[in-house]
Chain A
């Protein structure tokens, strides 16, 4: 993945939080994932097919997801189904929005919603896997991208 492509992912995430909440997210310095696990409590994984095979996932803790839900619905909820639904919607929106840069052959799956930290989450991601740290309202999240 090129630096310009990585920047596009960062811009899409920044725009998402700004549009939904009026408060933009700040991005940490992206890095290439090594052995360490980069998975928080709730994860939405999108499989990518077409010329750029691989996957994208957004992972976050309950506080960030619940607060964001409050921005959208006017009420913060913390039940399991709502938190998973929220993380899936963020993943889907980010993956769908990057088609503005990657084009219509960047085919995205419906989100696979994951609670906890399964061992096999990286199987769909193609190395090198890039990690984009995200901070929003003092809560952290990660966007993780691995594409051919």
Chain B
């Protein structure tokens, strides 16, 4: 299964990539803003996307809408420092499978991915 990581922080992209080493997932690619993410999504069609919200060029929630227009069944975990319940609810209403507030632990992320992808070890 392929994962795409979208975050404007290279440290967060690398951290998420590192946490995934315990899962049987292939890194399909990374993007640092919403615009890049939409382009990359169309190219690699990942099984799962982790998506930050506050990013330059195009924010994560706009990106989420565009991804779901391309692939309505896309599985997206929104990961954001905007940890108020309203933002999480908005992400879920737009179609995200999960909302994970920053800062998060490796265990929290891995559990969410396993829950969403089902059969991942």
Q: A residues touching B (Cβ–Cβ < 8 Å)? A: 15-16, 19-20, 69, 72-74, 81-82, 85-86, 88-89, 92-97, 99-100, 103-104, 108, 110
Which residues on the B side are within 8 Å of A92 (C-beta)? 9, 54, 81
| Contact present for B84 and A100 (CB under 8 Å) | yes
Total CB contacts across the A-B interface at under 8 A:
61
Q: A89-B11, A99-B82 are in contact. List 15 more A-B contacts (CB 8 A).
A: A19-B103, A19-B104, A73-B11, A73-B14, A85-B10, A88-B9, A93-B102, A96-B80, A96-B81, A96-B82, A96-B83, A96-B102, A100-B84, A104-B86, A108-B54
Report the separation of the CA atoms of residues A97 and B11 in the bound assembly, to the nearest whole angstrom: 18
Which residues on the B side are within 8 Å of A69 (C-beta)? 11
| Contact present for B105 and A19 (CB under 8 Å) | yes
Report the separation of the CA atoms of residues A117 and B52 in the bound assembly, to the nearest whole angstrom: 29
Which residues on the B side are within 8 Å of A20 (C-beta)? 103
| Contact present for A99 and B9 (CB under 8 Å) | no
User: If A82-B10, A86-B11, A88-B9 touch, does A110 touch B84 (CB 8 Å cutoff)?
Assistant: no
Which residues on the A side are within 8 Å of B18 (C-beta)? 73-74
| Contact present for A89 and B84 (CB under 8 Å) | no
| Contact present for B10 and A93 (CB under 8 Å) | no
